[in-house]
Amino acid sequence: MAMLEVKDLNVYYGMIHAIKDVSFEVNEGEIIALIGANGAGKTTILHTISGLIAPKTGHILFENKDLTKIPAHKVVSLGMAQVPEGRRVFSQMSVLQNLKMGAYTRDDKSEIEATLEMVYKRFPRLEERKNQPAGTLSGGEQQMLAMGRALMSHPKIILMDEPSMGLSPILVNEIFDIIRSVNESGTTVLLVEQNAKKALMIADRAYVLETGHIASSGDAKELMNDDSIRKAYLGE
């Protein structure tokens, strides 16, 4: 039984049919990569899963609950967090306030403190800058904050939308190391990336999205060796 199951999803923006009969699943403990070119529909899928966009048809089952029937703000407390495209940190609020927003749905103060310690340990830079307005952080720091903020809800699954976007090569490696270690500590990961090579390297399985539909899928290592994938997405 998959942890997250997307079934026959169709999403429209007005007349534009952005997501066409998309189905995929994520099992507990996996890292699943969702790769595809600009405008393929990756962000749309993540937004639909989190409830920011309503699908026209289809189901999204998370631990057997149909997310399409649950309002967006109730999704976090089920154990699902998202690191949105472009970070979207609350720029006027401090780093610490941002992290606390991540734990908005949690009640237990001492458990929140413990998670905060864990996030600070993973991202020491955030602790150094905890009182700084998030808008004044560098791009890489904002990405770390967006990840830390998502971790603050103590999610079972974390959806990440292009976490490596706009970062220097060194930072990209650092971010992918963090994704791997978040996964190793027990969090399932659904990773949307344009950096297909890096994504396939850490993923267990992957789905390739082409203009709104799944063009191919399978074991990440096998996809990496697939000639057409290498040509289209790995630039070889």
Partner 1 sequence: MTFLNYLISGISLGSVYAIIALGYTMVYGIAKMLNFAHGDVIMVGAYTVFVAMSSSGLPALPAILLSMVVCTVLGVVIERVAYRPLRGAGSPLAVLITAIGVSYLLQNLALLIFGSNTKSFSTVVPLSPLKLADGRITISGETIVTILASIVIVVGLSLFINRTRPGQAMLAVSEDQGAAKLMGINVNGTIALTFAIGSSLAAIAGVLLCSAYPSLTPYTGSMPGIKAFVAAVFGGIGSIPGAMIGGILLGIIEIFGKAYISSQMADAIVFAVLIVVLLVKPTGILGKPIREKV
Ligand X SMILES: Nc1ncnc2c1ncn2[C@@H]1O[C@H](COP(=O)(O)OP(=O)(O)OP(=O)(O)O)[C@@H](O)[C@H]1O
Residues that bind partner 1 (CB under 8 A): 47, 50-52, 71-77, 81-82, 84, 86, 88-93, 97, 100-102, 104-105, 135, 139, 149, 153
Per CB under 6 A, the list member of 35, 44, 143, 151 interacting with ligand X is 44
From the list partner 1, Mg ion, ligand X, none, pick the one residue 130 interacts with, judged by a Cβ distance below 5 to 8 Å according to partner type: none
Q: Which residues between 132 and 171 bind ligand X (CB under 6 A)?
A: none
Contacts with ligand X by CB under 6 A: the residue count is 13
153 touches Mg ion by CB under 5 A: no
Give Cα 116 distance to the centre of its chain.
20
13 part of the interface to ligand X, by CB under 6 A? yes
- Contact partner, 194, from ligand X, Mg ion, partner 1, none, Cβ < 5-8 Å per class: ligand X
**Least gap, CB of 98 to Mg ion (angstroms):** 22
Nearer to ligand X, 3 or 208 (CB): 208
Interacting span for ligand X (CB under 6 A) from 41-49, 137-145, 179-187, 217-225 = 41-49
Output the CA torsion 137→139→100→153 (10° steps). Answer: -170
How far apart CA 195 and CA 198 sit, in angstroms, is 6
Beta-carbon contacts of residue 98 (< 8 Å; ≥ 6 apart):
89, 90, 134, 145, 149
Choosing from 25, 63, 85, 127, the residue that interacts with Mg ion (CB under 5 A) is 85
Tokens read off for 114: 């413990």
Closest CB to Mg ion among residues 37, 78: 37
Among ligand X, partner 1, Mg ion, none, the one that 36 touches (CB under a kind-dependent 5 to 8 A) is ligand X
Judged by CB under 5 A, does residue 43 bind Mg ion?
A: yes
Closest contact distance (angstroms) between CB of 182 and partner 1 is: 17
Binding residues for Mg ion restricted to 159-198, rule: CB under 5 A = none
Write down the least CB distance from residue 40 to ligand X, Å. Answer: 4
Residues that bind Mg ion (CB under 5 A): 42-43, 85
Residues that bind ligand X (CB under 6 A): 13, 16, 18, 36, 38-44, 85, 194
